[in-house]
Structure 1
Amino acid sequence: MQHAIAGILPTATTPTPTPTPAVDPNLVSPGVVGFLFTALIAIAVIFLVWDMMRRIRRGRVRADIQEQLDAEEQAARAVEATEVDDQGIDPAADDDRGEAPRP
């Protein structure tokens, strides 16, 4: 046991050198230019997302209006078809069944 402690003790007491940085940390940081570039990119992304959401909303409104117009057009066609079907009934054809004409 003493030999194990004696083996560990010299390594624990010897100082280990700390490496000195070879590069100045102020020279490799992005600095003000990096911050401004990142801020400009962030602002551009915000404006692009805002514009995209506006265009999506506009497209949805246009689609809703188009659906309403299509529904109104189909309703008008249905009414027109019903009126045409009603006009196709010939009251004179009832006379052919042997009934007396009504004055």
Structure 2
Amino acid sequence: MLIDSRGDAGWHQGHIPGALHMPTADIPRHAPSTIDPATPVVTYCWGPGCNGATRAALEFAKLGYAVKEMLGGIEYWIREGFPVQTADGTTRQPADPLTAPLHAITCDC
């Protein structure tokens, strides 16, 4: 389960298609009734300059969930050319050549 831990403004600005919106402060109260504890969780927030995904991952871990953090957050998701859901539909920007290869599927690391 992919969790967007940002606030309402960030979520409405755009989010990863299929993600569930659950701000960090709401996790202890809403996660147990919303997400099966056996479901692995991946948290994301704005990007590397924000520790929101880390704090959200901690809240899920305290509840016993298997959890990982999506490094780079939505910033790098967008910069690498992946789709973003908004109220107007799904959009996609060209990949940023500083973060993703232009003429290959992977970075070959």
**TM exceeds 0.5?**
no
Bigger RCO of structures 1 and 2 (CA < 8 A, at least 6 apart): 2
| Alignment TM class, shorter chain as reference | under 0.3
- Name the TM-score, length of structure 1 as normaliser: 0.16
Return the structure number with greater strand share.
2
- Name the TM-score, length of structure 2 as normaliser: 0.15
Return the structure number with greater helix share.
1
Bigger CA radius of gyration: 1
